[in-house]
Chains A and B, each alone.
Chain A
Amino acid sequence: MSRKILVADDEQHLLETVRAYLKDAGFDVVTVRNGRDALFAVRHEQPDLVILDVMMPEMDGWEAARLIRKESEVPLLFLTARVDEADQVAGLEIGADEYITKPFSPRVLVARVRAILRRVYGDLSTEPTTWRVGGLVLNAETHTVTRDGVRLDLTPSEFDLLQVMMARPGRVFTRMELLDRIQGEAYAGYERTIDVHIKNLRAKLEADPRNPRYIETVYGVGYRMAGDAQ
C-alpha cells in the first residue's frame, strides 16, 4: 500500500510540482492551500507524512504544526522561505522532523520524504537501487558498477555522476546541473570541471572512449546517458 502525503502550500504552482514528484515516486498525495485545511486534512485523511509551508493564509505553518502535534505523531516536514537559524530551531522544537528551505530541488524533497518514512515506519526504500543501461549495471546499495559482468573502479564523484545520468537515460543534463548534483552547490565558471570527470568516466566504461556508446555529448548543452529519450 502506498503512503499518503499531505502537502500544504499557498503557492499553487509549487504545489503542482511537489505533487507531480511525489506521485512519480509512488505516493498518494493530498494538497491544501492553508494551515486550517491542513489541520482538517490531518484529521480526515490520516496522512503518513505532512509537508507544511510556513507562510500561509488563514493559519500559518507554525500554528498548524502545533495543533497537529496535539493530536497526532505524524511526521512533519517544513518547507519554507524562512532561512533564519532561529526559525529552523523553532520549527524543529515544535516537533518537525525536517526543515527544507526554498528554493529547493523537488528531487531532494522526495529523497528526504523517503528518508523520514524509512526512519519512522521502517519502510524499505521504494527507490530503485539498481540501474541498467546496455551492459552497464550500477548498484547504489553495494556502490558497485559493472560492465558486462566486469567490476569497474570508480571515484566517488564519478560514481555519483554516473548514478545521476543512469537514473534518467535519455535526459540531457547541463554541466551546471551535474555539478550541482554531485557537489550540492554549483558556481558559474566551474562547469568545465565536469568535462574532466566525464573524460575519466568514459576512459573507464567505454570500449572506445573516442566513440562513446554510453555517455553521449549533446553539443552546446551537456551530456546524456544513452537510452530512451523522454
Chain B
Amino acid sequence: MGQGAGAGRGGVRRGWEVLLADASGTVIAATDPAQVGAPLDADALSQAIPLEVAGARVGWLVQATRGEQALGETETRFLTEVTNWLTAAALIAVLLAVAASLVLARGLARPLQALTRATRDVAGGALGRQVKVGGPAEVVELAEAFNRMSHDLADGEALRQRMAADVAHELRTPVSVLRGHLEAMLDGVLPTDGAHLAVAHDQTIHLARLVDDLRLLTLAEAGRLPLERAPVAPEALVRQAVERFAPLALDAGVALKHEVAPGLAPVFVDGDRIQQVLGNLLANALRHVAQGGEIALRVGAQEGAVWFAVSNTGPGLDPAQAAHVFDRFWRAEDARARDSGGSGLGLAITQQLVVLHGGRIWVESAPARTAFVFELPVAGGEDLEARGARRPLPPR
C-alpha cells in the first residue's frame, strides 16, 4: 500500500520544473529547454524567489509544478486508474486483514477458552481434566503442558487417597484388638490380668511403630530425609548388623552367615540409615525362614558399586509376589498368618532409603531361596541410577 502511494507521488514529481530568469523576467535556463527565452508569466513571478547580489536584483528562481494540465490524457487516465486500483487494493487489504485476524483470533481464542475452562475445573477439584490439543504450535505446547500437569495432579491425589485408605485400613486391626480387649476387661468378660493387658500393650507398641514408620516413609518418599553421608567401610556395616542380629537368629534357631569380599572401597552413605536397611532386610529374612534354615549376608563389588545381598532359605516368592514386595503394607501370606508383627512398611522404607542414597534394590527369588540385593555407590562415585541402563546383576 505504502509503496503504491510512493510510486504515485513519484509520477507527479516528474511535473516539477525549475526556471532561472534574469532581472527582466526572461527565462535564461530551465529544466524544459523549450521555455528558455520566454518571459515569466504573472503566476510564475508571484512564486518566484528573487535572487539578489549586493542588494541588487539579478534574477528570479522559480520552482513550479507543471500542473495537471501539463499531463496528457493517457497519463491522466493512468493516474486515475492507479488511484482507483489503489483504493480497491486498500479496501481488499483491510477486508483481508479483518478476516485474517478473525481467523487467527478464533484459532487462538478457542483453545485458550477451553484451557481457561479446564483450569477452572482443575481449581474446582476436577483433577485429571484433559483438554483437546489443537491450534497454533504455542497453544498446542501449552495444552500439552496443561494436560501433563492435570494428569500428574490426579496421580498425586490418587496416591494420597490410596495412602490414606491404606493407613486407615492398617490402623483398624490393632485398634479393634485394643478396643475389644479393653472393653472386655472393663466389662469383666475377660479377666484383667497380665496376659490380657500385655496384648493390649502390644497393640499400642504396634501402633506407635506404625506411626514412626509412616513418618519415615513419607519423609523418604518426599526426598526430605536428611542423610549424613560419609565414606564408610562395608565391612564395618556388616559387622555391626551381624552383631545386632546374631542373638535373634540364635533364638530362632537360624544360622546367620556373612561373607565380605576383601579390599572393598568405602561406600558414601549415612551409616545409620544403611544399618536400618540391613536391619530391615535381616528382620524380614528372619520372618520367612523356618527353624534350621539359614540367612546369609554377602558383600561384593562390581563396576564402581558395592552390592549387599541378604538371602534366606525361606519358602520363596512367586513372580507375582515379588512384584509387590516393596509395596507398602504388602505382606506375604505366611507372614500374615504367622502373626509375625511388622508394620508392613519395612521393605517400602528400605527401598526408599536405598534410592535416597542413589542406589538400587531388587529381589531375586526361587523356591527355597530369596535374596534381597542392593547396590550403593562407592565414595566419590556417581549415582547408580544416573548411569542409565541396568547392568547385569552381581554374582550370587
Which residues on A are within 8 Å of B, measured CB to CB? 10-14, 16-18, 20-21, 24, 33-34, 57-58, 81-83, 101-107, 168, 171-172, 177, 230
Q: Which of B172, B188, B339 contacts A103 (CB 8 A)?
A: B172
**Which chain A positions have C-beta within 8 A of B137?**
none
- Residue in A17, A81, A106 with the greatest tally of chain B CB atoms within 10 Å: A17
- Give bound CA distance, A13 to B206, whole Å: 14
Contact of B339 among A12, A101, A168 (CB under 8 A): A12
B8 within 8 A of A: no
- Assembled-state Cα–Cα distance A103/B203 (Å): 13
Q: Is the CB of B187 within 8 A of A13?
A: no
Contacts of B148 in A (CB 8 A): none
Q: A102-B173, A102-B175, A103-B179 are in contact. Are A21 and B184 (CB under 8 A)?
A: yes
Residue among B172, B176, B187 facing the most chain A CB atoms (10 A cut-off) = B176
Q: In the complex the two chains form, is A168's CB within 8 Å of B187's CB?
A: yes
The smallest C-beta distance from A20 to any residue of chain B, in angstroms, reads 5
**Contact partners of B188 in chain A: CB under 8 A:** 168, 171, 230
Measured between C-beta atoms, what is the minimum distance from B318 to chain A in Å?
Answer: 15
User: Which residues does chain B contribute within 8 Å of A20, judged by CB atoms?
Assistant: 184, 189-190
Cα distance A14–B199 when bound, in Å? Answer: 10
Residue of A18, A33, A101, A177 touching B337 (CB-CB under 8 A): A33
User: Could you tell me which B residues sit within 8 Å of A by CB distance?
Assistant: 168-169, 172-173, 175-181, 183-184, 186-190, 199, 203, 333-334, 336-337, 339
Task: Establish whether residues A81 and B189, one from each chain, have CB atoms under 8 Å apart when the complex forms.
Answer: no
B336 lies within 8 A of A18 (CB) = no
Query: Can you list 10 A-B contacts with CB-CB less than 8 angstroms, sorted by A residue number?
Result: A21-B187, A21-B189, A24-B189, A58-B337, A81-B169, A81-B172, A81-B176, A101-B172, A105-B183, A171-B187
Evaluate contact between B173 and A14: CB separation under 8 angstroms. Answer: yes
Chain B residues contacting A18 (CB-CB under 8 Å) are 180
Interface of B is mostly: helix
Cα A171 to Cα B181 with chains together (Å): 15
Apart from the given pairs A58-B333, A81-B176, A107-B183, 16 other A-B contacts in the complex at a CB distance below 8 Å: A12-B339, A13-B203, A14-B176, A14-B180, A16-B190, A17-B180, A17-B183, A17-B189, A17-B190, A34-B337, A57-B334, A81-B172, A101-B172, A102-B175, A103-B175, A106-B184
B177 cross-chain contacts in A, Cβ below 8 A: 11, 13-14, 17
A177 to B36 CA separation, bound complex (whole angstroms): 128
Q: How far is the CA of A18 from the CA of B337 in the complex (A)?
A: 19
Q: Please, which residue of chain A has its CB at the minimum distance from the CB of B169?
A: A81
**Set of chain A residues within 8 Å of B178, measured between Cβ atoms:** 103
Minimum C-beta distance from A141 to chain B (A): 22
Q: Known: A21-B184, A81-B172, A105-B179. Contact between A57 and B336, CB under 8 A?
A: yes
Whether B176 and A103, one on each chain, are in contact in the complex, defined by CB atoms closer than 8 angstroms, is: yes
B189: chain A residues within 8 A (beta carbon): 17, 20-21, 24, 106
Shortest Cβ distance from residue B312 to the other chain A in the assembled complex, whole angstroms: 20
Cβ-defined contact, B180 with A13, below 8 A: yes
Cα A173 to Cα B337 in complex, Å, equals 35
How far is the CB of A19 from the nearest CB of chain B, in Å? Answer: 10
Distance between Cα atoms of A181 and B180 in the complex (Å): 15
Cβ-defined partner of B333 (8 Å) among A11, A14, A57, A104: A57
Determine if B183 and A106 form an interchain contact, defined as CB atoms under 8 angstroms apart.
Answer: yes
Which residues on B sit within 8 Å (CB–CB) of A13? 177, 180-181, 199, 203
User: Is B180 in contact with A106, judged by CB distance below 8 angstroms?
Assistant: yes
| B333: nearest chain-A partner, CB-CB | A57
Residues of B within 8 A of A33 (CB): 337
A14 to B176 alpha-carbon distance, docked (Å): 7
Closest B residue to A11 by CB, please name it.
Answer: B173
Cα(A102)–Cα(B176), bound, Å: 6
